[in-house]
Amino acid sequence: MNIGFDAKRAYHNGTGLGHYSRTLIRSLAEYYPEHQYYLFNPRHSDRFSLKADNIHEVLPTGFPSTLFRSAWRSSWVKKDLQRLKIGLYHGLSHEIPVGIHKTGIKSVVTIHDLIHERYPEQYNPIDVKIYDKKFRYACEHADKVIAISEQTKRDIIEYYKTPEEKITVCYQSCNPAFGSKISTEEKERVKKQYGLPDKYFLYVGSIIERKNLLNICKAVFLLRNETDVPLVAIGDGAGYKQQVKDFIRQNGLEKKIILLSETEAARSSAAFQTAIDFPAIYQSAIAMIYPSFFEGFGIPVLEALWSKLPVITSNTSCLPEAGGAGAYYVNPNSAEEIAEGMKKIFTDKDLADAMIGKGWQHAQNFTQQQCAAAVMNVYRSLW
């Protein structure tokens, strides 16, 4: 079958939605080579490569599609779907083309989270209205809805009243590079390139209020006289990020909290911008600190488990689904609990080793093959 995908984020997005899209497409192409996979990309980019004999990039052609690329992606693409005899279309990030249900082409949409519904105050009001309209439309008109966690499934039912039988939970995997052991030489090279300390705690994620980096910084402050181990934070943001930087400056933590994405070494490195060096950065850390207030899934947690890295995360939303029995759970509102977890993992090697073992075992539930099979089963239910 010819299977189509909304590939905008697969080609252009360096964060969670992009990682999800690329990992799933590559997995499907590898484990189900009998199908042809068409990636509908509104604008060409060389940032990320998606190449295989059964993967085909499709770009808008002719006027007005090449001028109004967003309109092509959100509606006009239907003509190309019909031209290429696409039997099933998968909107990988909350959207499907308007009117696709009238073409006879079956459609699936992945909903990652409904955070804009739970925390609308953290978004631009216009964006909240746009997201609400697009997400609701997709859940109503797609033939099947994929939720990336049980938490997201519950939210879809609660906020959009989507019938439960229409929704399937399909967990995501992560780049298999995180599960490959990085050599000592490579880790040392990466440390040197980015000026990383010998030991450090790690945070990876957007620097926004929901992700809770400020409380991690407060935990580092609480530990300032007990450990010299710094925090390395990967990610970017705007207003909330300035709050974090103000706290760092006001409390003299410039040497204990490294905003790695702001450094020239990171900005000028293609291997950093495309996350190629991330497995080495993960595997050189003491632990992943990820006490987010709310997530659709929390892919850095899974990346850390595959990297055999202890994880401190929140006891809320879907994060226990992602972290399993091996993670150390905290109240995300409590900098004291975060600090206590960091201190325990740093000082108690037996605890850290036990967490690594349980975390690795839990990660085996999220292999690329298992995740691709779950999605393919949704597709097959529509054939």
- Sheet with 231-234, strands from edge to edge, namely 257-259, 231-234, 201-204, 287-290, 311-314, 328-330
pLDDT at residue 122 in the model? 83
Q: Residue 150 and residue 13: Cα distance in Å, rounded?
A: 25
Q: Which residues pair with 91 in a beta bridge?
A: 109
257: β partners? 231
* Close Cβ partners of 175 (under 8 Å, ≥ 6 residues apart): 19, 22, 23, 275, 279, 303
Residues of the chain with pLDDT under 70: none
Ordered domains of the chain (ranges, CATH): 2-173+368-380 (3.40.50.2000), 176-365 (3.40.50.2000)
pLDDT in tens, 318-336: 999 999 999 999 999 999 9
Instruction: Provide the pLDDT for residue 353.
Output: 97
Q: Which two tokens stand for residue 330?
A: 């905290």
Alpha-carbon separation of residue 96 from 4, 51, 107, 144, 145 (angstroms): 11, 24, 8, 11, 11
Q: Is the dihedral of CA 152, 294, 283, 338 positive or negative?
A: negative
- Helices then strands, each counted (H, E), the chain: 18, 13
Close Cβ partners of 48 (under 8 Å, ≥ 6 residues apart) = 10, 11, 12, 18, 22, 274
Give the CA distances from residue 36 to residues 1, 3, 4, 30, 100, in Å, rounded to whole numbers and listed in that order. Answer: 6, 6, 8, 11, 20
- Residue carrying structure tokens 């000082």: 347
Identity of the amino acid at 44 = H
The per-residue pLDDT for 374 is 98
Contacting residues for 332 by C-beta, under 8 A, at least 6 apart: 212, 215, 291, 292, 293, 314, 316, 338
153 sits in the region (left: phi over 0; alpha: psi -120 to 50; else beta) called: alpha
Q: Tell me the three state secondary structure of residue 169.
A: strand
Please state, in angstroms and rounded to a whole number, the distance separating the CA atoms of residues 248 and 250: 6
Question: Is the backbone peptide bond immediately before 64 cis, with ω within 30 degrees of 0?
Answer: yes
- Looking at residue 15, what is its pLDDT? 81
Which residue type sits at 275? A
Position 16 scores a pLDDT of 82
**Beta strands at 287-290 and 311-314: parallel, antiparallel or unpaired:** parallel
CA pair distance 280, 181, nearest whole angstrom: 9
At 216 the three-state DSSP class reads: helix
Residue with tokens 């450090």: 200
* Distance between CA atoms of residues 369 and 207, nearest Å: 31
Residue 116 dihedral angles phi and psi, to the nearest 5°: -65, -20
Helix, strand, coil percent content, the chain, rounded in steps of 5:
50, 15, 35
Backbone dihedral angles phi then psi of residue 303, each to the nearest 5 degrees:
-60, -40
Amino acid at 233: A
